[in-house]
Amino acid sequence: MTRIKGLRRLVGLAAAALLGTGLAAPSAQAQQKEVTVWSWFIQSTMQKSIAAFEKQHPDVKVNYTYYNYSPEYITALKAAAASGSLPDVIGLQPGSLTQQYRDDLAPVNDLAAKAWGAGWADKVFPVNRKQMLMGNPQGDENYYIVPQESQVLCIWYNRKLFETLKLGVPKTYDELKAAAKALTAGGYIPMFQGAADGWQNENVFLMLANQFSAGIVDKAQAGTAKWTSPELVSAMKAWKGLFDDGIFQQGALGAHAYPTGAQLFAQARVGMMALGSWWMQESKFPPPLSQYIQNMDGFDFFYLPAVAGAPGASPPVGGIDIGYGLTKNGARNPAAWTFLASLTNGEALQEALNDLNDLPAFAGHEPKGDVSDHVKAMSARFMTDLPKAENQRFAQPAVAEALDNALAGVADGSLQPEAALAAVQAATDKALGK
C-alpha cells in the first residue's frame, strides 16, 4: 500500500513536472522569435553579423543556411519557391536573380521608409539604386532587394612583385603590355584571367566597353543602343587583344578565377588580376596568410588603362555585390525585416564591413576595428569612386549568357567580334520581345 502511495506520488510529481514544462515551453518559444536566412554569403562573417544582431535583439534567433552559389543555392531557391517554403530572408543579386523570385518577394518600400525615413533611398549609392529596380516591369517602382554591400571592379596588382621587377603602375596600354612581358619573363603569370568563368570575362569586357563610351552596355541591354555599335565592336577587339598581346596568361580559357587564380595571386605567382573591392577580405581570412595578404601589404589596385582607340582609362564599374530580399513568408514575420534592416544598414552590416567583406551599399558606413592604414586608404579610394560607378549588372540572364558565349568565342578565335556581338543583339531582341 505504501509502495502504491509512493508510486502515485511519483507519478503525480512527474505529471506536474511535465505540465510545468509544457506550460513553460510555449511561453519561452513565444518570446524567442526565429528568422530563417539563406544565402551564399561567407559563413564566418555572417555568424559575426548574426551575433551582433542577436546581442541587440536577444528575443530573436537567426538561423542561417549557407549554400555554394551554383548549383546548390539557385536550385535550392527554385525548389523552395515551387513548394512555397522559402525562408524569411534570401540572399539575392540584382537583376535576373531578383526578378526570378519577384512573385515570392515582398516590396520593402514602406518598411524601409518606416525604419530609415522617407528619404532612405537617397542614402543608397546611385548605381545600387538603379540596380535595385533593374528588370522591374515598367511602372513598378517597388524595391524587392535591399543591397547590403557594393563593389567596384578594378585591376589588382602585386606591388611587391612590381617593385622587385622595377615596374610602375601601368598608365597606358603599352605600359600594361610591358609589365605583362616583364612579369612573364620573370616567371610569373602576367594577369590571371579565369576565362572559364563568365563573370570574370563580363567584368573585364565592361571595363573595356565603358572606356569607349560610358554606360553603353547599359544602353545596349536596354535596347537603346546596338550591341553591334562601333564602340562595342572596338571593345570586343580590345578583349581579344588582351589574349593576343600576352596580358592574360596562356590557356586562360580553361582557368577559373576561384580557387585557382585567387590562390596563385595570394602566393605571388601572379602579377595582376581583374577582381574588385572584395579582394580586401582575403586579409581577414583565418591564418596562415601569405606575407602579401597580411594587411593587404602586397596589393594595390588601378583601373584598366585606355586601350587603342579608347579616349580614357576604364571608369569605375560596379554596383551591388549582394543584397537581400524579404520573402512573402518573411513578410509575415516582423523579426525578419528587423534582421534584414540590421544586415543591410545596421549593426550586422558593420560586422561584415569590419571583416572587409566589401564596401557598404548605403552611405555613412566604413570598416572599423583592426584595419591597417593601407587598407583604410584603399577602402577610401573605392568609396570615393563608388558614387560615380557605371552599372555592372545585367537585367536579363539570357543577355548575360549570350555575352559570355560571345566573349569565349572571340577569345578562342572561333567567332569574329562583329558576328559574336550580332548574336548578343539577337539574344537581347528576343529577351526584350522585339
Which of 125/144 has CB closer to another protein? 144
Tell me how far apart the alpha carbons of residues 293 and 296 are, in angstroms, rounded to a whole number.
5
CB of 194 to another protein, least distance (A): 10
23: which residues sit within 8 A by CB, 6+ positions away? none
Question: What single letter denotes the amino acid at residue 165?
Answer: L
92, 93, 98, 100: CA torsion to nearest 10? -100
Tell me how far apart the alpha carbons of residues 136 and 395 are, in angstroms, rounded to a whole number.
9
CB of 85 to another protein, least distance (A): 17
CB of 97 to another protein, least distance (A): 8
CB of 272 to another protein, least distance (A): 15
CB of 338 to another protein, least distance (A): 27
**Residue 276's closest CA among 305, 245, 301?**
301
Which of 289/408 has CB closer to another protein? 408
Residues that bind another protein (CB under 8 A): 70-71, 74-75, 78, 96, 99-100, 102-103, 135, 137, 189, 195-198, 249-256, 259-260, 264, 269, 396-398, 401, 404-406, 408-409, 411-412, 414-415, 431
**Residue 157's closest CA among 134, 187, 135, 189?**
189
Which of 109/405 has CB closer to another protein? 405
Tell me how far apart the alpha carbons of residues 343 and 108 are, in angstroms, rounded to a whole number.
14
CB of 169 to another protein, least distance (A): 24
CB of 388 to another protein, least distance (A): 29
Which of 169/423 has CB closer to another protein? 423
Q: Which three cell numbers stand for residue 251?
A: 590557356
DSSP designation for 346: S
391: which residues sit within 8 A by CB, 6+ positions away? 127, 130, 131, 134, 215, 217, 218, 317, 319
Which of 236/313 has CB closer to another protein? 236
Tell me how far apart the alpha carbons of residues 209 and 235 are, in angstroms, rounded to a whole number.
5
For residue 289, give the 3-state DSSP assignment: coil
Neighbours of 69 (CB within 10 A): 13
Which of 311/433 has CB closer to another protein? 433
Host H or E run for residue 236: helix 230-244
Tell me how far apart the alpha carbons of residues 185 and 207 are, in angstroms, rounded to a whole number.
27
For residue 246, give the 3-state DSSP assignment: coil
CB of 212 to another protein, least distance (A): 23
**Residue 60's closest CA among 88, 31, 26?**
31
Which of 74/115 has CB closer to another protein? 74
For residue 417, give the 3-state DSSP assignment: helix
Backbone angles phi, psi at 177, to 5 degrees: -65, -40
CB of 399 to another protein, least distance (A): 10
Which of 222/408 has CB closer to another protein? 408
Which of 96/379 has CB closer to another protein? 96
